[in-house]
Each structure stands twice: as C-alpha cells, then as structure tokens.
C-alpha cells in the first residue's frame, strides 16, 4: 500500500515537472508591465464591447447611440479599423455627410494602405459631391 502511494506521488510529481520547471524559467513581469498588459487587455475588451453595442444600436436605427459607442472604441483602441468604418457608416445612416466624410478620411489617414482604400475614396467622393 505504501509503495503504491509512493509510486502514485512519483507519477504525479513527474507529470507536473515540466510545468513546474517552466514556471521557474519565466521572468516575472514588473508591476508596470503587468498594469500595462492589464490595461491593454481591458481597453481591448471594452473597445470590442463598444463595437458590439454600437452595432446593435446601428441595426436598431439609433445612429446617435451607435456613433457614441464607436467613438469610444476608436478612443480606446485607435489601431482598430472596424470601429472607424462603423463610425463612418453610422454617420451615413444618420445622413450626416460631413461626419461620414470626416470619419472615412480619418480611417484612410490611420490606415493608408487599407485593402478597401479605393472603395472608401469613392464613398468620400460620392458623399462630397452631394
């Protein structure tokens, strides 16, 4: 019975060894790095939530509420393209051509090599000519 327990403890220890060894090799993050990582993760999650809620409002027909959420998402994560495009579309839905053009221009300024650049430029031209 004692041998069986000893064998079981040895097996568990050996199975856990790689994880234990990996933990010892990792350098702990500094408090500043930890806060920065947590802050980035929180703002990313918050921006994603703003995008989802803004999209809901946009489909519901409340362009003003959608615009507010998309602006928040852009502020929190300026390197995300999606809230910028959705912001411009919300302005279009609201029939605010000036706001839409400005949002599309800011999108192109933030992402000059965007794959949809030609399409966005045509939208800007169309909205500006009305």
Please give the Cα distance from 120 to 86 (Å, whole number): 12
Question: pLDDT, tens digit, for every residue of 76-127?
Answer: 999 999 999 999 999 999 999 999 999 999 999 999 999 999 999 999 999 9
Reported pTM: 0.67
């Amino acid at each position: 019975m004692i041998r069986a327990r000893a064998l079981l403890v040895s097996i568990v220890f050996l199975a856990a060894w790689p994880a234990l060894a990996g933990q010892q090799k990792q350098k702990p993050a500094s408090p500043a790095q930890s806060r920065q990582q947590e802050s980035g993760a929180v703002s990313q999650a918050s921006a994603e939530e703003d995008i989802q809620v803004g999209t809901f409002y946009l489909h519901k027909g409340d362009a003003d509420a959608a615009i507010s959420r998309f602006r928040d998402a852009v502020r929190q994560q300026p390197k995300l393209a999606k809230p910028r495009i959705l912001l411009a579309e919300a302005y279009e839905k609201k029939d605010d051509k000036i706001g839409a053009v400005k949002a599309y221009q800011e999108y192109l300024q933030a992402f000059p090599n965007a794959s949809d650049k030609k399409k966005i430029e045509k939208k800007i031209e169309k909205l500006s000519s009305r």
